[in-house]
Amino acid sequence: MFESLSEKLQNAFGRLGRKGRLTEQDVDEALREVRMALLEADVSFKVAKQFIASIRERAVGTDVLQSLTPAQQVIKVVHEELLGLLGDTPGKLDISPAPPTIVMLVGLQGSGKTTTSAKLAVSLRKQGHRPLLVAADPYRPAAVHQLETLGKQIDVPVYADAKQKPPALAQAAVQHAQSMNQSVVILDTAGRLHIADDLMHELEEIKGRVHPHEVLLVADAMTGQDAVRVAEDFNTRVGLSGLILTKMDGDARGGAALSIRSATGVPIKFIGVGEKLDALEPFYPDRLASRILGMGDVLSLIERAQENFTQDQALQLQKKIRTATLDLNDFLAQLQQLRNMGPLDQILDMIPGMSRMMKSQAMPSIDERDLKRVEAIIQSMTPYERRNPDIIGTSRKRRIAKGSGTTTAEVNKLLNQFREMQKMMKMFSRGKMPKGLGALMGGRR
Angstrom distance (rounded) from CA 138 to CA 134: 11
Span 40-48, average pLDDT: 82
Amino acid at position 59, single letter: A
pTM score: 0.65
Amino acid at position 187, single letter: L
pLDDT band at 363 (very low <50, low <70, confident <90, very high): very low
Strands 268-272 and 280-282: antiparallel
Most confident listed range (269-273, 336-340, 402-406, 427-431): 402-406
More confident residue, 318 or 301: 318
Boundaries of every domain in the chain: 3-86, 101-293, 299-440
pLDDT in tens, 10-36: 777 777 666 666 778 888 888 888 888
The pLDDT of residue 345: 62
More confident residue, 176 or 221: 176
% helix, strand, coil for the chain, step of 5: 60, 10, 30
Contacts 24+ apart (CB under 8 A), 224-227: 224/42, 224/252, 224/253, 224/255, 224/256, 225/42, 225/44, 225/255, 225/256, 225/259, 227/256, 227/260
The pLDDT of residue 406: 92
Span 305-314, average pLDDT: 62
**Which architecture characterizes domain 3-86 according to CATH?**
Up-down Bundle (1.20)
Angstrom distance (rounded) from CA 37 to CA 43: 9
Contact 207, 125 (CB under 8 A): no
Most confident listed range (107-116, 221-230, 302-311, 327-336): 107-116
The pLDDT of residue 439: 38
pLDDT band at 156 (very low <50, low <70, confident <90, very high): very high
Contacts 24+ apart (CB under 8 A), 20-26: 21/65, 21/70, 22/64, 22/65, 22/70, 22/71, 22/74, 23/65, 24/60, 24/65
Bridge partners (DSSP) of residue 411 are: none
The pLDDT of residue 397: 94
Query: What is the percent of the chain where pLDDT is above 90?
Result: 31
CA distances from 380 to 195, 234, 405, 417 (A): 54, 54, 10, 17
> Nearest CA to 346 among 313, 371, 368?
368
Span 29-53, average pLDDT: 84
More confident residue, 230 or 433: 230
Residue 69 has pLDDT above 80, yes or no: no
Residue 143 has pLDDT above 80, yes or no: yes
Angstrom distance (rounded) from CA 442 to CA 287: 25
pLDDT in tens, 213-235: 999 999 887 776 777 888 888 99
Residue 341 has pLDDT above 70, yes or no: no
Region 101-293: CATH code: 3.40.50.300
Contact 10, 51 (CB under 8 A): no
Angstrom distance (rounded) from CA 169 to CA 174: 9
- In this structure, which CATH number among 1.10.260.30, 1.10.10.10, 3.40.50.920, 1.25.40.10 belongs to the domain 299-440? 1.10.260.30
User: Average per-residue pLDDT in the chain?
Assistant: 79
The pLDDT of residue 183: 95
Residue 146 has pLDDT above 60, yes or no: yes
Span 37-46, average pLDDT: 81
